């Protein structure tokens, strides 16, 4: 099988089911755990947007012109509190209106410990799976990406907003009482949240819909975790392989090391299994 990579597709199950898109095909990667896998980067990278051949990938699979042109590659994608759509400066207003003026969820997750994050309403539970979260809990539903980012900044004063990927790949995190941690965090952040609502000129309960759904538990298909995390990089090591012992987040875990498949979106590879 040969083709360009896209991030692994997942479906919540017990455990999570994964497929690895390679060109127009799908490798049933979950069913290959316990087998020998071999991947070779051909040296080709094709922009995920325009399909132009490029020597280097920017922002997970884009050529440089697309990276500079597309709003989806803007810094506000990583830092939603910097969203500037309302200022009329979005590089692609039609795209921004659809993407940024859509409902977003502010959530808590337990991947390498408690963290806060945001995602579009339509990306649950995919976002949690991609981050390797073992537990997740929606906290607020808000109307725009910008607002979700502002709320995240407030909560991130007290909990992490990033996953320690090395710790995440070394095993399951200690289970947390997510409901209790949420309530504690919101109580500590209440003054800041109220001040944000006042700044925006609207009652807090009208711009931040409090969610009281259940905790989502996520189990990943992992036979064994690495004691020491050693990562593969197609740019440095074109051939990657070994016995596939697990999948977590967007990482394939081999007995020889790990590789973040999302990082190499648009890379053309040859794929073989025993």
Hey, where are the domains in the chain? 2-43+221-273, 73-217
CA dist 182 and 135 (Å) reads 12
Q: Using alpha carbons only, what angle is made at residue 262 by residues 259 and 265, rounded to the nearest 5 degrees?
A: 110
> Helical H runs in 156-237?
165-168, 178-200, 204-207
CA dist 153 and 146 (Å) reads 11
Predicted confidence at residue 249, as pLDDT, reads 97
Helix (H, G, I), strand (E, B) or coil at 129: helix
Cα dist. 139→113, 160, 198, 211 in Å? 17, 15, 20, 5
Query: Cβ-count burial of 137 within 10 angstroms (0-12 exposed, 13-18 middle, 19+ buried)?
Result: buried
Predicted confidence at residue 46, as pLDDT, reads 97
Q: pLDDT confidence of 198, banded at 50, 70, 90?
A: very high
**Which pairs count as long-range contacts for 120-127, CB under 8 Å and 24+ apart, including other chains?**
120/145, 125/12, 125/216, 125/218, 126/10
| pLDDT, tens digit (0-9, with 9 covering 90-100), for 75-85 | 888 899 988 88
Its pTM stands at 0.93
| pLDDT, tens digit (0-9, with 9 covering 90-100), for 227-251 | 899 999 999 999 999 999 999 999 9
| pLDDT, tens digit (0-9, with 9 covering 90-100), for 54-67 | 999 999 999 999 99
* Edge-first strand listing for the sheet containing 17-22: 9-11, 17-22, 25-27
The stretch 89-103 carries a mean pLDDT of: 88
Predicted confidence at residue 77, as pLDDT, reads 87
């Amino acid at each position: 099988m040969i083709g360009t990579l896209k991030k692994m597709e997942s479906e919540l199950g017990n455990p999570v089911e994964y497929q690895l898109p390679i060109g127009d095909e799908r490798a049933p990667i979950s069913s290959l755990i316990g087998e020998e896998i071999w991947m070779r980067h051909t040296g080709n990278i094709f922009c995920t947007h325009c399909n132009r051949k490029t020597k280097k990938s920017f922002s997970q699979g884009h050529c440089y012109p697309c990276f500079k042109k597309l709003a989806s590659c803007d810094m506000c994608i990583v830092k939603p509190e910097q969203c500037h759509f309302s200022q009329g400066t979005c590089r692609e207003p039609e795209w921004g209106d659809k993407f940024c003026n859509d409902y977003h969820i502010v959530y808590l997750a337990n991947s390498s410990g408690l963290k806060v994050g945001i995602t579009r309403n339509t990306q649950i539970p995919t976002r949690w799976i991609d981050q390797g979260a073992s537990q997740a809990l929606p906290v607020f539903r808000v109307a725009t990406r910008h607002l979700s980012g502002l709320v995240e900044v407030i909560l991130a004063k007290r909990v992490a907003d990033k996953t320690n990927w090395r710790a995440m790949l070394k095993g399951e995190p200690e289970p947390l009482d997510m409901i209790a941690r949420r309530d504690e965090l919101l109580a500590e952040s209440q003054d800041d949240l109220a001040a944000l609502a006042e700044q925006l000129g609207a009652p807090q309960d009208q711009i931040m819909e409090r969610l009281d759904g259940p905790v989502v538990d996520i189990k990943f298909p992992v036979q064994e975790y690495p004691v020491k995390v050693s990562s593969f990089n197609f740019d440095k090591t074109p051939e990657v392989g070994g016995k596939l012992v697990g999948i977590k987040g967007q990482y394939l875990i081999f007995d020889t090391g790990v590789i973040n498949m999302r990082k190499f979106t648009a890379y053309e590879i040859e794929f073989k299994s025993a």
